[in-house]
Structure 1
Amino acid sequence: MLKNIALTLASAFLLSGCASVPLATPEDTALAKTFASPPSGKAAIYFYRDSFMGQALKRDISVDGKCVGKTANNMFFYSLVDGNKDHRLSTEGETTRHDISLFTAVGKNYFVQQQITMGVWSASSKLKVVSEEQGTKEIQGLKLAVSGNCS
């Protein structure tokens, strides 16, 4: 019994540490947080992660198989995609991938939250499309990460 408790506490400690990823400049972060309309023919996807769970973990995010970046807690990515098109958004877990489909209209911003969940043996990662109101509010306290650093 004590062995199980010690193992659980050690796992929680390791998973609650901080992971870091390369961050954009404060100026670029401020510009992304204006939530301006994307350029002609494009849509924007804001991927963000703001969860307490699994803070030591970094997880890849991709759009249509192309790397957006590796996430850490309290950060976000800004990604331009073609508008009026279905896109496959993906993230990884320890042993599985999680994919969702998102149709993006030209000129719109979309917000996708990455959620880390703990399983018995490993952590999992999921993507959830959230409202513009929720996404803009939650991103305000986050930092913009540099894109393109996947495993």
Structure 2
Amino acid sequence: MTNLFRALVASAFVALVASGCASGPQYKDVASSIPTLKQEQGRIYFYRSGSMFGAALQPSINVNGQTVGKSQAGGFFYVDEPAGQYVVSTATETEKTVSFKLDAGETKYVKTSVGFGLLVGRIIPSLESAEDATKDLDGLHYTGTPTTAASK
């Protein structure tokens, strides 16, 4: 292999991997501009680490069957919802879910992580503590516009 060919292959690989990563302002830059919750609503943050492992896997994240965003490596977004029971799901070759109750004024944190699958990787949602999530959010990039699944 020539050096030029190796350089082209390496550049193509870097571009492919980078296209799977979130871009946008970092959490630390937007945290102060995130609006306060309306009295009857709770907030759900969704986030994924910046690991390159499985970066090309970017399935939709659904809340009670409605798409609210994508699981992107290095990204986060949030939705505000009325108090109630919620099921968050992602699907590649199989569907993975996490269920929880959201109270008015409460904030929940759902982390999506890459797991091994039979044919492709799986994106697995899990409920995380506020303490762990706020540490994880610090270097992540904002990937969406605040939405409400109930309003769709």
Q: What TM-score results when the alignment is normalised by the length of structure 2? A: 0.74
5+ residue gaps, structure 1: 1-12
Which of 92, 96, 99 aligns to 2:97? It is 99
Task: Describe the superposition over 1:60-95 as per-residue Cα deviations: whole angstroms up to 9, x where unpaired.
Answer: 101111111112110001111112x101111112x1
Equivalent residue, structure 1, for 2:85: 86
SS of the residue corresponding to residue 119 of structure 1 reads coil
Unaligned residue ranges in structure 2 (runs of 5+):
1-12, 148-152
- Determine the structure 1 residue equivalent to 2:69: 69
Question: Once the 2 structures are TM-superposed, how far is the Cα of residue 119 of structure 1 from its aligned partner?
Answer: 2.6
User: Partner residue of 2:47?
Assistant: 48
Partners of 1:45 and 1:78 within 8 A in 2: yes
The separation in 1 between residues aligned to 2:68 and 2:131, in whole angstroms, is 23
RMSD over aligned Cα atoms:
2.8
Deviation of the 1:129 alpha carbon: 0.4
Percent of pairs identical after alignment? 25
The within-5 A match list for 1:1-150 is: 17-18=17-18, 19-20=20-21, 23=24, 26=25, 30-32=29-31, 37-50=36-49, 52=51, 53-83=53-83, 85-93=84-92, 95-147=93-145
Distance 2:72 2:118 in 1: 21
On the 8 A contact 2:59/2:71 being kept in 1, the answer is yes
What amino acid maps onto 2:103 in structure 1?
A
What displacement does 1:123 show? 0.7
- Residue 135 of structure 1 aligns to a residue in which SS? helix
Residue of structure 1 in register with 2:10 after alignment:
none
Asked if structure 1 preserves the Cα contact closer than 8 Å seen for 2:26 and 2:140, the reply is: no
Q: Is the 8 A contact 1:33 1:140 kept in 2?
A: no
